[in-house]
């Protein structure tokens, strides 16, 4: 007499695996062993599972378990790296970092420095300093010709008329004139790091350099005490 108890063929088991993997919950170890035991107990004696199918199912389970274990290890590693970056970033608070954008803290008659990289030099450079909060022009000066390469810029912390500018946040810009053509060049300045935070979209640390501006740690060109 043939046992008519419901059983799972190899094809049905594969379909079950596929539908389970697409569901919200993954097939765990206990569920897999229960399913496999039921399958072996209730298989059709006229069409028993062959050894290859049985071994294939065990190999599939082993592979899934291995991937889950690897995923857990990678998540632990990523968490550890994040904590390490946060600790390193905390040491930057209060220090000055060189970043492009021209934002810096200055004024009060104190000199501030910036720099631009000129691949082909310049006939002249127009250096401007703006109030970072209001956008008002504070200082403007035209400097002479520059050689190719990295060139230093400076501001004496005063208005164009020579009166001291108040201490605060400023932005330095530069217009490069070459062969009668004028174009804006990226200015690198030293800005103070106020705080650090983790940016989940870029998976790296971001530095608060004031005026609501955040820059990624990878954008820092130099660090100064």
pLDDT in tens, 161-210: 999 999 999 999 999 999 989 999 999 999 888 988 887 777 778 888 88
Q: Is residue 200 part of a domain?
A: yes
- Residues 109 and 56 both lie in one domain: no
Answer with the one of 58, 89, 120 that is the final residue of a domain: 89
Answer with the one of 65, 89, 113 that is the final residue of a domain: 89
What's the token pair of residue 221? Answer: 């060109």
Q: Is residue 67 part of a domain?
A: yes
The pLDDT tens digits for 128-172 are: 999 999 999 999 999 999 999 999 999 999 999 999 999 999 999
Residue 24's pLDDT band (cuts 50, 70, 90): very low
What's the token pair of residue 183? Answer: 């174009």
- Residues 119 and 85 both lie in one domain: no
Answer with the one of 89, 110, 132 that is the final residue of a domain: 89
- Residues 30 and 100 both lie in one domain: no
212: left (phi over 0), alpha (psi -120 to 50) or beta: left
Question: What local confidence, expressed as pLDDT, does residue 212 receive?
Answer: 82
- Residues 103 and 76 both lie in one domain: no
Q: Is residue 187 part of a domain?
A: yes
Residue 5's pLDDT band (cuts 50, 70, 90): very low
Structural contact between residues 131 and 173, judged by C-beta atoms closer than 8 angstroms: no
What total of structural domains would you count in the chain?
2
Q: Is residue 170 part of a domain?
A: yes
Q: Is residue 1 part of a domain?
A: no
Q: Give the contacts of 104 (CB within 8 A, at least 6 positions apart).
A: 112, 114, 169, 170, 171, 172, 189, 190, 191
**Average pLDDT rounded to a whole number, residues 77-85:** 65
Regarding beta strands 112-118 and 188-192, do their DSSP bridges make them parallel or antiparallel, or are they unpaired?
antiparallel
Structural contact between residues 118 and 143, judged by C-beta atoms closer than 8 angstroms: no
Residues of the domain holding 216:
96-224
């Amino acid at each position: 007499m043939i046992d008519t108890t419901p059983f799972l063929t190899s094809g049905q088991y594969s379909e079950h695996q596929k539908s389970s993997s697409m569901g919200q919950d993954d097939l765990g170890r206990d569920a897999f062993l229960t399913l496999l035991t039921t399958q072996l107990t209730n298989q059709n004696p006229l069409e028993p599972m062959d050894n290859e199918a049985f071994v294939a199912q065990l190999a599939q389970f082993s592979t899934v378990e291995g991937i889950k274990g690897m995923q857990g290890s990678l998540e632990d590693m990523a968490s550890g790296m994040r904590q390490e970056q946060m600790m390193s970033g905390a040491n930057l608070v209060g220090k000055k970092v060189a970043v492009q954008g021209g934002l810096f803290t200055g004024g009060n008659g104190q000199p501030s420095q910036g720099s631009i990289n000129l691949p082909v030099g310049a006939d002249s450079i127009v250096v401007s300093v703006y109030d970072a909060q209001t956008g008002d022009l504070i200082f403007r000066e035209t400097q002479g010709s520059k050689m190719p390469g990295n060139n230093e810029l400076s501001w004496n912390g005063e208005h164009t008329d020579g009166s001291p500018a108040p201490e605060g946040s400023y932005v330095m810009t530069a217009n490069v004139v070459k062969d009668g053509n004028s174009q804006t060049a990226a200015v690198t300045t030293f800005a103070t790091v106020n705080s650090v935070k983790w940016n989940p979209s870029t998976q790296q640390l971001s530095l608060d350099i004031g005026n609501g501006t955040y820059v990624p740690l990878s954008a820092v060109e130099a660090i100064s005490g």
